[in-house]
Amino acid sequence: MSILIDNNTRLVVQGITGREGQFHTEQMINYGTNVVAGVTPGRGGQDVLGVPVFDTVAEAVRETGANTSVIFVPAPFAADAILEAADSGVEFIVAITEGIPVLDMVKVKKFVDERGVLLLGPNCPGLITPGVAKVGIIPGSIATSGPVGMVSRSGTLTYEVAYELTLRGIGQSTIVGIGGDPIPGMNFIDVLRRFQDDPQTEVIVLIGEIGGTDEEKAAEFIEEYVTKPVYGFIAGRTAPPGKRMGHAGAIISGGEGTAESKIAALEAAGVKVASHPAEVAEFIERDLRG
């Protein structure tokens, strides 16, 4: 078992003819993901790496039965690409694109929620169910199948922790990157709930960072609903207030969003919070192996 993607995933790649889209489509196919269609307006009828390209997502869904979309469309057009996907019958949308204006995302978030479509991202690395499928850009080499469910706001920091786990022979059920934007689609709670319900997942890793209050809310949820052990890491203990640290959402403003507040909330909810990324794997190794 896994969450969100598995052997039934039929993927359409929006922006398949672009440099990034093409590169990662190849990576996803090589990993075993069932890529059934691509979309680039004006390029319908062509094919990329043997994958048929359509002008619209609706057409791609109709012709190929795609149920999941991944978006590599450049930022100025990415919000529209998410709306198109949400209106075309796919159940799950993964938006990789970084740099979408936040007011666009306020509208998009409401639109996808009203249609009951799941959105992961934007500005995220996507997700991977090791050995089964990956949607997005997480390198397959860092992951191996196992009992740890991972959810994170960061890309490479997640790779770091997954890699440390994999080095110790501890695998992952699914690794989910929810992205670094101020208005994300799925949040920690949406993913934690699924890990709690997933039989393969035995322990959960939550990787957060400064900005916003989603980690604090996740802590409340963990306290109330999560019975599996949760391990955490929060990046940005040394980040100064008022400065955006790379991610659009990684900013301490008005005293809100500090690492201290998040760590305190998580620890109060029984989460073991590590002081450096590798320590997450050390904690889990110790607890799993006794």
| Least distance between another protein and beta carbon 67 (Å) | 25
> With contact defined as beta carbons under 8 Å apart, do 173 and 144 qualify?
no
Nearer to another protein, 38 or 125 (CB): 125
Q: Which of 247, 249, 261, 284 is catalytic?
A: 247
Residues with Cβ within 8 Å of 69's Cβ and at least 6 positions away in sequence, in order, are 11, 12, 13, 14, 57, 85, 88, 90, 92, 93, 94
3-state helix, strand, coil in the chain (%, to 5): 35, 20, 40
Closer by beta carbon to another protein, 15 or else 249: 249
**Cα(105)–Cα(102) distance, rounded to whole angstroms?**
5
Closest of 134, 136, 98, 130 to residue 249, by C-alpha = 98
Does 24 participate in catalysis according to the annotation?
no
Q: Least distance in Å: CB of 3 to another protein? A: 21
Q: How far is the CB of 276 from another protein (least distance, A)?
A: 5
Closer residue to another protein in complex, CB, 90/100: 100
CA 69 vs CA 92, 150, 190, 240: distances in Å: 6, 21, 18, 37
Which CB, 45 or 255, lies closer to another protein? 255
The distance of closest approach from Cβ of residue 204 to another protein in the complex, given in angstroms and rounded to an integer, is 18
Total H helices, total E strands in the chain: 9, 14
Binding positions for another protein, rule: CB under 8 A: 20, 23, 75-76, 99-104, 106-107, 109-111, 125, 137-139, 141-142, 152-160, 163, 180, 182-183, 207, 209-214, 217, 233, 235-240, 243-250, 254-255, 259, 275-278
In whole angstroms, how close is the CB of 109 to another protein at the nearest point?
5
Closest to another protein by CB, 66 vs 183, is 183
Q: What b/e readout covers 49-71, taking b as 16+ CB neighbours within 10 angstroms?
A: eebbbbeebbebbeebebbbbbb
> Which residues are designated catalytic?
247
